Amino acid sequence: MEALALERKAEQNRELRERLMQLKKERNAIILAHYYQRDEIQEVADFRGDSFLLAQKAAETDADVIVFCGVHFMGESAKILAPNKTVIIPDERAGCPMADMVNVDGLRKLKAQHPNAKVVTYINSSAEIKAETDICCTSANAVRVVNSVDSDEIIWVPDKNLGHYVQQKTDKKMIIWEGYCNTHDMLTVKDVEEMKAKYPNAQFVVHPECRPEVVELGDFVGSTTAIIKYCKESDCQEFIVGTEDGTGYQLRLDSPNKTFHFATKYLVCPNMKVNNLKKLVKCLETMQPQIYVPEDVASKARLSLERMLQVK
């Protein structure tokens, strides 16, 4: 029975992929998928990447339609950078709890309390927050962005763990918002120590969205893209991975002979995983749900994203 079900699923996926290719041609569409998406989505994507790479691809593409397989704020960033394109996402319920932890009123109050500070916002935030921001950053370029800002005082939103990591690498005074990523923040020192005892030859690679005491245990600390690159280039053959489990797809693709253990089975972002192949095909058929960002918000948010793209 199980074999039959798997065969049927494989056949269904084949049909969905064929339909997808046909729709992509008809719509002149490009599919962007975040590294945390399900394998079946990463397999059919034109580009896989982290928020930063995908934001760049959205800004550069000649396609008329951008299908963004990620969470809502990523679709917004694509729409802000490519306002004349149609941006659709497979499921509009794909939100980001961390992005929801910061609100415009709270940020405005903080700005009023620190009038000389510049606001640096992690890209994992809503368009409204980006519109209140001097410059955006990603985990890949956060340190470079903070150090590029012409102010000694930084208001940092919304991720306190990444903020703490950046704080170690800059002389600037950072006022850090208390948000966090539910998925990365779950990883504990106990989890990592147990895995290290179980796999003594493995290196621990960790995302700076994890708690500071967990990040301290890392043999390598970096963004999702940096972790993938490090594992590919490293002589080490075995890794304990401290980031979302969707990353496994690219890690295994790049390094088929290496072994990857995720630091806990709970490193799964439920919001990233709501997208699937069926929803991806359906959104291209119906051209819904579309991402809209009001122009007054988009024009301010665009400045903060464009400034980020200029930081070398």
Q: Is 139 annotated as a binding residue?
A: yes
Q: Is 125 annotated as a binding residue?
A: no
Residue 306 domain-assigned (yes or no) = no
> Do 165 and 221 meet the contact criterion of CB atoms below 8 Å apart?
yes
pLDDT at 51: 82
Last residue within a domain, chosen from 121, 154, 180: 180
Q: Is 124 annotated as a binding residue?
A: yes
113 and 169 co-located in one domain = yes
pLDDT at 298: 96
Per the DSSP assignment, residues forming a β-bridge with 242 are: 206
26 and 83 co-located in one domain = yes
**C-alpha 77, offset from chain centre:** 11
CA distances from 312 to 144, 178, 308 (A): 8, 28, 9
Contacts of range 288-295, beta carbons closer than 8 Å, 24 or more positions apart: 288/88, 289/88, 289/89, 289/91, 289/92, 290/86, 290/87, 290/88, 291/68, 291/72, 291/75, 291/76, 291/78, 291/79, 291/87, 291/88, 291/89, 292/79, 293/76, 293/79, 293/80, 293/127, 295/83
* Per-residue confidence in pLDDT tens, the chain, 312 aa: 788 888 888 889 899 999 999 999 999 999 999 999 999 999 999 999 988 788 789 889 999 999 999 999 999 999 999 999 999 999 999 999 999 999 999 999 999 999 999 999 999 999 999 999 999 999 989 999 999 999 999 999 999 999 999 999 999 999 999 999 999 999 999 999 999 999 999 999 999 999 999 999 999 999 999 999 999 999 999 999 999 999 999 999 999 999 999 999 999 999 999 999 999 999 999 999 999 999 999 999 999 999 998 998
Residue 211 domain-assigned (yes or no) = yes
Give the C-alpha separation, 170 to 292, whole Å. 36
Residue 298 domain-assigned (yes or no) = no
42 and 124 co-located in one domain = no
Q: Is 51 annotated as a binding residue?
A: yes
Residue 151 CB coordination number (10 Å): 16
Q: Is 230 annotated as a binding residue?
A: no
Residue of 246, 243, 234 lying closest to 192 (CA atoms): 243
List all residues 6 or more positions away from 158 whose beta carbon is below 8 Å from its beta carbon: 98, 99, 101, 102, 121, 122, 124, 125, 129, 177, 179
Residue 171 domain-assigned (yes or no) = yes
207 and 252 co-located in one domain = yes
Q: Is 234 annotated as a binding residue?
A: no
| Three-state secondary structure call for residue 294 | coil
Q: Is 122 annotated as a binding residue?
A: yes
155 and 188 co-located in one domain = no
Residue 299 domain-assigned (yes or no) = no
Strand intervals (E) in the chain: 29-34, 47-49, 65-69, 86-88, 118-122, 135-137, 153-157, 173-176, 203-206, 220-221, 238-242, 259-262
Last residue within a domain, chosen from 117, 145, 180: 180
Last residue within a domain, chosen from 139, 160, 180: 180
Give the C-alpha separation, 203 to 196, whole Å. 8
Residue 300 domain-assigned (yes or no) = no
pLDDT at 10: 85
| Total structural domains within the chain | 3
9 and 77 co-located in one domain = yes
> Do 305 and 77 meet the contact criterion of CB atoms below 8 Å apart?
yes
pLDDT at 101: 96
89 and 3 co-located in one domain = yes
Q: Is 261 annotated as a binding residue?
A: no
Containing structural domain, residue 225: 184-268
Residue 194 domain-assigned (yes or no) = yes
Residue 297 domain-assigned (yes or no) = no
252 and 191 co-located in one domain = yes
List all residues 6 or more positions away from 216 whose beta carbon is below 8 Å from its beta carbon: none
Q: What pTM does this model have?
A: 0.93
Residue 67, domain CATH: 3.40.50.10800
Give Rg (Cα) of the chain: 20
Residue 147 CB coordination number (10 Å): 14
36 and 73 co-located in one domain = yes
Give the C-alpha separation, 40 to 31, whole Å. 13
| Three-state secondary structure call for residue 67 | strand
| H/E stretch holding 258 | none
Q: Is 35 annotated as a binding residue?
A: no
Q: Is 141 annotated as a binding residue?
A: no
Residue of 65, 69, 64, 33 lying closest to 49 (CA atoms): 33
Q: Is 271 annotated as a binding residue?
A: no
Give the C-alpha separation, 3 to 285, whole Å. 31
- In degrees, rounded to 5, the angle at the alpha carbon of residue 63 between the alpha carbons of residues 274 and 312 is 85
Q: Is 283 annotated as a binding residue?
A: no
1 and 86 co-located in one domain = yes
Give the C-alpha separation, 203 to 251, whole Å. 14
pLDDT at 52: 76
